[in-house]
């Protein structure tokens, strides 16, 4: 089993309900075991800014799936929730990204792990540091908390109190 960290987010429809349901689907997978779920954060959009705010979190899972197989399953779950990748950084019902897959570095068509923007995005680093406070980027070697400390504090990440995505927490 490999420990993987998955970013989850969305900014269309009932965001919290969609994320909760997506976590439940992933938790029900035979080859995936949910270990922990970070708090939920409301975040400003990046790239295409003329769209609603996102809800984001990070999931820690153990999986027997390979990195590419896990990605394929995540893409299936996105489609199940009405996500079709049309516009880069555009609005979406659900976004599931493999952030880390053990200590592995994966470079195959359609999948780059660690996620190429992981160290640049507060909406990923804040919840990731919650689950992996001493974690280190497997390529760049720095702790995730160091990357977070270097980011512009105006990236608009605000914890949503009282909202949990996983029934087992």
| CATH code of the domain in which 63 resides | 3.30.70.560
- In the chain, the number of structural domains is 1
Any catalytic annotation for residue 50? no
Residue 132 lies inside a defined structural domain of this protein: yes
Rounded Cα distance, 145 and 163, in Å? 24
Q: Which of 15, 20, 73, 95 is catalytic?
A: 95
Q: How confident is the model at residue 83 (pLDDT cuts 50, 70, 90)?
A: low
Can you give the pLDDT at residue 68? Answer: 95
Can you give the pLDDT at residue 66? Answer: 95
Residue 88 lies inside a defined structural domain of this protein: yes
Who wins on pLDDT, 83 or 77?
77
Phi, psi (degrees; rounded to nearest 5) at 36: -160, 155
**113-117, 150-154, 155-159, 165-169: range with lowest mean pLDDT:** 150-154
Residue 135 lies inside a defined structural domain of this protein: yes
Residue 151's domain comprises: 2-159
Rounded Cα distance, 15 and 4, in Å? 23
Kindly state the average pLDDT of the residues 109-130.
91
Q: Which of 20, 73, 92, 121 is catalytic?
A: 92
Q: Is 152 left (phi over 0), alpha (psi -120 to 50) or beta?
A: beta
Q: Which of 15, 73, 97, 121 is catalytic?
A: 97
Query: What pLDDT digit, counting tens, does each position of 118-128 carry?
Result: 988 889 999 99
Residue 165 lies inside a defined structural domain of this protein: no
Is-above-0.85 flag for pTM? Answer: yes
Can you give the pLDDT at residue 151? Answer: 80
Q: Which of 83, 136, 146, 152 is catalytic?
A: 83
């Amino acid at each position: 089993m490999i420990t993987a960290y998955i970013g989850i987010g969305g900014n269309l429809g009932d965001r919290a309900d969609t994320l909760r349901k997506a976590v439940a689907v992933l938790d029900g997978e035979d080859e995936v075991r949910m270990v922990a779920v970070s708090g939920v954060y409301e975040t400003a959009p990046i790239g295409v800014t003329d769209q609603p705010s996102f809800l984001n979190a990070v999931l820690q899972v153990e999986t027997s799936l390979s990195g590419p197989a896990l990605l394929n399953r995540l893409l299936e779950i996105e489609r199940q929730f009405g996500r079709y990748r049309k516009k880069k950084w555009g609005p979406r019902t659900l976004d599931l990204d493999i952030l880390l897959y053990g200590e592995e570095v994966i470079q195959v068509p359609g999948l780059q792990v660690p996620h190429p923007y992981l160290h640049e995005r507060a909406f990923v680093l804040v919840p990731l540091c919650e689950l992996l406070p001493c974690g280190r980027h497997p390529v760049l070697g720095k702790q995730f908390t160091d990357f977070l400390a270097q980011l512009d504090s105006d990236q608009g990440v605000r914890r949503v109190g009282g909202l949990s995505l996983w029934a087992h927490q």
